[in-house]
């Protein structure tokens, strides 16, 4: 369903898709994720309808960034999130985490459905207080 990707053109195309880009940071300019993609500690997993960026934030800890096209939202995204978690576990992560914007209840629902729990902490990003959700990962047997 998901494959690790270093295809900068494809990653940028999905992130900058008009149905995705408004939810990936402020501004209307096109994003270029090349600096993130070329760093080996960051992982990008893509499938038919988009995917995830796992951005290194500490040893064995990655921040999840989600970029799913509308056709993949729902069942496909739920299954892809489980595959993402399995990938992180298999690659020895002990935790994944993400930021959820306060005005996007659908993102909060998706995050909780994937198994991430609220930490009770917020972080201000682009002058907006995002809620932090995390999931501790048990080792892959």
CATH, residue 18: 3.40.630.30
Give the mean pLDDT of 55-70. 97
Domain extent, residue 125, equals: 3-136
Strands (E), 15-90: 43-47, 50-58, 61-68
**Backbone dihedral angles phi then psi of residue 5, each to the nearest 5 degrees:** -135, 145
- Mean pLDDT within 3-32: 91
Residue 38 covered by a domain = yes
The answer to which of 28-37, 41-50, 53-62 has the lowest mean pLDDT is 28-37
Query: Region 88-92: what's the mean pLDDT?
Result: 96
pLDDT of residue 15: 96
Lookup result for tokens 């501790």: 136
At 90 the pLDDT is: 95
Give the Å distances, CA to CA, from 61 to 9, 75, 92, 113.
Answer: 26, 26, 9, 20
- 40 falls within a domain: yes
Out of 1-10, 15-24, 83-92, which region has the weakest mean confidence (pLDDT)? Answer: 15-24
User: For the residues of 47-110, what is the DSSP string, one character each?
Assistant: ETTEEEEEEEEETTEEEEEEEE-GGGTTHHHHHHHHHHHHHHHHTT-SEEEEEE-TT-HHHHHH
**What is the model's pLDDT at position 141?**
62
Buried/exposed 47-59: b ≥16 CB within 10 Å, e otherwise = bebbbbbbbbeee
Q: 114: pLDDT confidence band, cut at 50, 70 and 90?
A: very high
And the tokens for 123?
Answer: 């972080």
Tokens of 104: 């996007």
- pLDDT band at residue 140, thresholds of 50, 70 and 90? low
Q: Kindly tell me if the per-residue pLDDT of 138 is higher than 80.
A: yes
3-class SS of residue 4: strand
In the chain, the number of structural domains is 1
Q: Which phi-psi region, left, alpha or beta, contains residue 92 (left: φ > 0; alpha: ψ -120 to 50)?
A: left
Query: How far is residue 55 CA from its own chain's centroid?
Result: 8
Domain contains 121: yes
């Amino acid at each position: 369903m998901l494959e690790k990707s270093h295809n900068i053109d494809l990653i940028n195309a999905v992130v900058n898709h008009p149905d995705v880009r408004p939810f990936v940071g402020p501004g209307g300019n096109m994003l270029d994720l090349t600096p993130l993609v070329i760093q080996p500690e960051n992982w990008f997993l893509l499938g038919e309808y988009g995917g995830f960026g796992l951005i290194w934030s500490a040893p064995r800890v990655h921040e999840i960034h989600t970029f799913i096209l509308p056709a993949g939202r729902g069942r496909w995204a739920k299954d892809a999130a489980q595959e993402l978690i399995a990938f992180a576990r298999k690659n020895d992560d002990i935790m994944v985490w993400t930021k959820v914007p306060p005005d996007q209840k659908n993102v909060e629902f998706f995050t909780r459905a994937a198994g991430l729990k609220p930490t009770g902490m917020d972080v201000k990003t682009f002058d907006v207080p995002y809620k932090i959700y995390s999931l501790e990962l048990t080792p892959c047997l």
